[in-house]
Amino acid sequence: MFKIGDYVRFIDEKREGYITRIIDSASVGVTDEDGFEIPVAVGNLTYVHGHHSNADTANNAMPVAKVDDQFVENGVYLAVAEDNKGSVVAHFTLVNRSSFQLLLTLKTEKGGVFKGDFAGVIQPKSSVQVYTANLGDLDNWPSFTFQSLFFSTGNVAPKKPFELHKRFKSKDFSGAKSQINEINKYGWLIRLDEAPLVIDAQKLKESFFSVKQEKPKVFKPAQEVDLHIEKLRDDHHFLSQSEILEIQLKKFQEILDAAIVHQMQSIVFIHGVGNGTLRNQIHKLISKHPQVRTFMDARKEKFGYGATEVIFKV
């Protein structure tokens, strides 16, 4: 039986991809390298050798736990990263940075229909892929329920199980990606075992009588934003090329996030032509952004190829 995350090949044509949706008992949705999810009958699919889902190989026995010099009680994360073969395919990897063995399950729900997607033991300081989805179809993702027991053979006090219900939204993937060493990829890292919020009754009482401070407001950017370094820093003459690029990309990300917060329909980034490095980096970032509908060269008669207009999803 095929499962979400299996890498498969079409029998009757030269096409491969990941299973990102179970339609019914006889058909599934396969997302190819171009990002298109194709409904196909299971009889027309075969496994690609060496690409079986990690859920098939998860160790369900009770292996000997690793011994740490210092026992780490917390650190359970979900890493979401694009596949190397197609950026629209997102793999979900459970990253266990704690010293506990995790007895973990993942169940999804959509339209009142529940489905068990993963169950297994995750070793201390290790990671296991647990799910695969089409990043471009985020609005149709199911809701996720993660449940876990914590096990150790050592002299460690029992830890309470956790249960987390998660419905992913675009804002979960609007921030910059970071390097995730466990999977050797850039992606988004989401904490699952966050400590529960403890409310201090006395501080809560005092807050009712304290003067409320206004929350900092996110400024609304202009319709056109110039990223030339001389517009951003007065000391640009003393900066190296790598420092200039870092400053420009940081400003770009700041403006992009502000535009999304203010639900702007579009925005123009003026990056210049130069050697094309800044333009290419910007295009690379927005081509994978879940909130971006499309982008194009902006007003060639004015900017040539020195500006990019970003159109957001409504």
CB 108, CB 145: distance < 8 Å = yes
Token duo for residue 98 = 């704690």
The whole-angstrom separation of Cα 190 and Cα 184 is: 16
pLDDT score for 32: 79
Residues 6+ apart with CB under 8 A from 299: 268, 307, 309
DSSP secondary structure, 101-143, as one string = EEEEEEEEEETTEEEEEEEEEE-TTEEEEEEEEEGGGGGG--E
pLDDT computed for residue 119 by the predictor: 92
- pTM over the 0.75 mark: no
Residue-by-residue DSSP string for 1-13: ---TT-EEEESSS
Beta bridge partners of 226: 270
pLDDT in tens, the chain (314 residues): 777 888 888 888 888 888 888 888 888 888 877 777 888 898 888 888 665 544 444 444 444 444 556 899 999 999 999 887 766 788 999 999 999 999 999 999 999 999 999 999 999 999 999 999 888 788 889 999 999 999 998 889 999 999 999 998 888 887 788 899 999 989 999 999 876 655 566 666 666 666 556 656 778 999 999 999 999 988 888 888 888 999 999 999 999 999 998 999 999 999 888 888 998 999 999 988 889 999 988 877 777 778 999 999 87
- Residue ranges of domains in the chain, CATH in brackets: 7-191 (2.60.40.1600), 224-312 (3.30.1370.110)
Coil, helix or strand for 79? strand
Report yes or no: 20 and 58 within 8 Å, Cβ to Cβ: no
